[in-house]
Structure 1
């Protein structure tokens, strides 16, 4: 594998953005791990961080590079600040960046990446779990599978979960009046309803959450809604809280679940 650290300029955000990137590279080692490489049509996973994290946190807090060693999978880990994968009310368009501009830039810089829906994935934890599910529901034509680890996937109905983390002014700077989240394009439940109403093909969806996590109930509600809409999904829980011990373990489960040629 190759591990790259990149700084790119976002025209959408009008600022420099950092990326960590893992790319398949053919290696033949006498000591260590021999890996396979590919120069074309490489599957790609956009791996999103949560609040308090940045482009480096998955690499520092988990063994993600080791976990993907023999999967032939490229991993894109962008820094998205505290933007909640949303075009914020304060004028920073993080949703447009993550859903439109970033994939375009990555395909320019790394032309070996696939352009096929069925080999393009979004995965994230907490805030990033929200972002990954939002990408899958709002851009189903671009993603074959998405996974949320401990995601805030039902935030419109569980505003108290948000307010337990940050004050009202913070959230309204991102989403606007909190009572307006429900039924908006920032509400995963609404995006699910729209996807079904428009007859679009949903990506495969994976949800997981720790049994001691304060976001567990919201994940259960989302899983129930996916079942009611007959959307292909997997929902699993296990011991753990909102912590890296849980996410380091469950990102391995996500990689097993992804539709990769193994």
Structure 2
């Protein structure tokens, strides 16, 4: 694999930011993809950054064997949201960044070659990408995602004082909006074609109950979702064990 640290100025965010780019060196992109690599956008968790994937897991090695490119954006503490007070991170992630990396690297822009995955806050972001833009993402993965965002902002959570309001506004504004995955599940199930979802969570994770609640909503809505659970907490010991299962599941 080749790992590149990309520094760029985002017109959407109005500031400089960073992203990691990982390209397989020992796998040529196929002709059927126009000589370009399928791509997985990997989203970091709250309090982390784009480097945590390569520092804490063997994701580079796993992706190399599958001929898969990785894009690791930095999104700070935004919850991958166009914040009420702050940057338009969802627009940056869903619109600006894909265009930049597709122009700079041999990365496919086809829906069937484009996937998103994330841990914790990033799991929320990955599912939001796929459910708001099912025409662009064939599949998305949530590893221990903060999927019940309404419960997160109204109960015990990891937000700084006033942070949730700056990101989402009030709970009433959030509930049923385009940031509420429970509402998005119903809309995404009616999309043609709907995205495929893979969700997993450790049974000792503090987000376990919220993950089960989202699973129930997704199944009720009729989404194509695969769910797995097992022993584990909210940590890289659990997530690293799940990565090969996640990549084997992707429709590559």
- Please report the TM-score for the alignment, with normalisation by the length of structure 2: 0.94
Which residue is 2:71 aligned to?
A: 76
Deviation at 1:167, TM superposition (A): 4.5
SS at match of 2:162: helix
Which residue is 2:27 aligned to?
A: 36
SS at match of 1:68: helix
Which residue is 2:192 aligned to?
A: 200
Which residue is 1:137 aligned to?
A: 131
Greater shift, 248-257 or 141-150, is seen at: 248-257
Q: Deviations over 1:136-179 (max 9, x none)?
A: 10000000010000001112245355x33225511001000123
2:220 is the counterpart of 1:228: yes
Residues 153 and 164, structure 2, Cα contact 8 Å, conserved in 1: no
Which residue is 1:187 aligned to?
A: 180
Q: Deviations over 1:50-97 (max 9, x none)?
A: 011111110101111111121110000011111110010113100110
- Please report the TM-score for the alignment, with normalisation by the length of structure 1: 0.90
Which of 1 and 2 has greater Rg?
Answer: 1
Rounded to whole Å, the distance in 2 between the matches of 1:181 and 1:171 is 10
Greater shift, 120-129 or 220-229, is seen at: 220-229
Residues 7 and 18, structure 1, Cα contact 8 Å, conserved in 2: yes
Rounded to whole Å, the distance in 2 between the matches of 1:108 and 1:259 is 24
Rounded to whole Å, the distance in 1 between the matches of 2:223 and 2:187 is 13
Residues 24 and 38, structure 1, Cα contact 8 Å, conserved in 2: no
**Residues 113, 167 of structure 1: CA spacing in aligned structure 2 closer, same or farther, 3 A cutoff?**
closer
Rounded to whole Å, the distance in 2 between the matches of 1:180 and 1:217 is 23
Rounded to whole Å, the distance in 2 between the matches of 1:219 and 1:201 is 24
RMSD: 1.5
Q: How many residue pairs get matched?
A: 248
2:109 is the counterpart of 1:118: no
Which residue is 2:4 aligned to?
A: 4
Q: Mapping of 1:1-262 within 5 angstroms?
A: 1-25=1-25, 35-38=26-29, 40-110=35-105, 112-161=106-155, 163-167=156-160, 169-197=162-190, 199-260=191-252
Residues 171 and 178, structure 1, Cα contact 8 Å, conserved in 2: no
Rounded to whole Å, the distance in 2 between the matches of 1:24 and 1:89 is 38
Residues 86 and 166, structure 2, Cα contact 8 Å, conserved in 1: no
SS at match of 1:75: strand
Deviation at 1:195, TM superposition (A): 2.6
Q: What 5-or-longer segments of structure 2 have no aligned partner?
A: none
Q: Deviations over 1:105-128 (max 9, x none)?
A: 111111x21121111000000000
Rounded to whole Å, the distance in 2 between the matches of 1:165 and 1:177 is 17
Residues 82 and 91, structure 2, Cα contact 8 Å, conserved in 1: yes
Rounded to whole Å, the distance in 2 between the matches of 1:164 and 1:228 is 26
Deviation at 1:217, TM superposition (A): 1.1
Q: Which runs of 4+ in 1 moved over 4 A?
A: none
SS at match of 2:72: strand
